[in-house]
A = this chain, B = another copy of it.
Amino acid sequence: MIKTILLNSRPEGKPSVSNFEFKTEDIELTIKEGELLLETEYVSVDPYLRGRMSNAKSYVPPFELNQPVQSGVIAKVSSSKNDNFKEGDYVSGMLSWKTLQVSNGEGLNKVDPSKAPLSAYLGILGMTGLTAYCGLTEIGQPKKGETLVVSGAAGAVGSVVGQIGKILGLRVIGIAGSDEKIELLKSKFGFDAGINYNTTKDMTAAIAEAAPNGVDIYFDNVGGPISDAVLVNINRLARIIVCGAISVYNNTEAPKSLSVQPFLVKNSALMQGFIVSNYAEKFPEAMTQLTSWLAEGKLTYSETIVEGFDNIPQAFIDLFEGKNKGKMVVKI
């Protein structure tokens, strides 16, 4: 019996479970020469998927209606007619929200469950860690002693960005939405300071206080009013890494923010949007570095593991409520 989750309708604003359709088929999958059969073990849910559910032009084509949703998946090879993979191997790849599926092996990478837990390959040793590493080092060009602000700091990418910032000798300030998260940033991830945007009245003043020398690098996961408050505090030659804008992904009208141009001109500052695949040539270096920091205990991570294939849509929706701490994955 194979279960599949299809995109049933395009979300207007916040996605809901009714945008998805569950299909159960009682069929037997067979594989041809060169193919392999994959049993899904972990499914990654990520804010960027919201973009693919809309019909707008973006860096990846939108999901088609009545077709399976796809995201990062860790799967076990349950049978193989492909020389590169054998039964029992674990692989990561961009795969469908299905319990069982056939692949030709293209785009799959083997992962080693003896080096790190399987779910880590969707997080700190997967797209999450690569996004944090490449964004901070390539765009941020961090220099020891500088001040880094991270929004969405308790999230999957944010918590890794902050830790890498500390390893590289930066003063690191995290912005997150609950006292519990702020506590976690400081105790678990070693951030120097944290600001709870839900209880702070004057974010601009709070950032100024936490960053007495101004903000040199801003790793922005959220956009919106939080980013406005950071912008006011940037230094000359500041670098703003625009990784995501979760605060506005569900808006149905184009949101307004503080005009950035005067701040950019005044400070000769940079804002650079990116997706991690722009830095593919950096991945080997990044993976080596992340794996070694993880082994040395310099890097740690949080993950929120939801159990059960049927809970994938709700886990995705919960991202927009900030219900995850660190990387959100679904264990099948």
Contacts and interface: CB of A to CB of B under 8 A. Distances in A.
Contacts of A283: none
A304 interface: no
Q: Which of A56, A224, A269 has the most CB of B within 10 A?
A: A269
A266 B273 contact: yes
Contacts of A270: 270-273
A227 B274 contact: no
A306 interface: no
B267 A258 contact: no
A245 B261 CA distance: 6
B254 A220 contact: no
Given A220-B261, A248-B259, A278 B274 contact: no
Interface of A: 51, 56-59, 220, 223-224, 227, 236, 242-245, 248-249, 254-275, 278
Given A270-B271, A273-B270, A254 B258 contact: yes
Contact of A236 (B59, B258, B268, B271): B59
Given A269-B273, A273-B269, A273-B270, A259 B254 contact: yes
A269 B272 CA distance: 6
A222 to B, nearest CB: 8
10 contacts: A59-B267, A245-B262, A255-B258, A255-B259, A256-B259, A264-B273, A265-B274, A265-B275, A268-B274, A269-B273
Given A268-B278, A271-B270, A271-B271, A262 B236 contact: no
Contacts of A59: 236, 266-268
Contacts of A273: 261, 263-270
Copies in the complex: 2
A257 B262 CA distance: 11
B262 A260 contact: no
Nearest to A244: B265
Contacts of A261: 220, 223-224, 227, 242, 244-245, 248, 257, 273
Nearest to A278: B268
Given A254-B259, A264-B271, A271-B271, 12 more contacts: A51-B266, A224-B259, A245-B259, A256-B259, A260-B260, A264-B272, A264-B273, A265-B274, A266-B273, A267-B273, A269-B272, A269-B273
A262 B274 contact: no
Nearest to A273: B264
Contacts of A57: 266
Q: Which of A265, A266, A272 has the most CB of B within 10 A?
A: A265
Q: Which of A58, A264, A274 has the most CB of B within 10 A?
A: A264
B223 A259 contact: yes
Nearest to A272: B270
Nearest to A222: B261
A280 to B, nearest CB: 13
A249 B269 CA distance: 17
Contacts of A265: 242-245, 273-275
A216 to B, nearest CB: 15
Nearest to A258: B254
Contacts of A258: 254-257
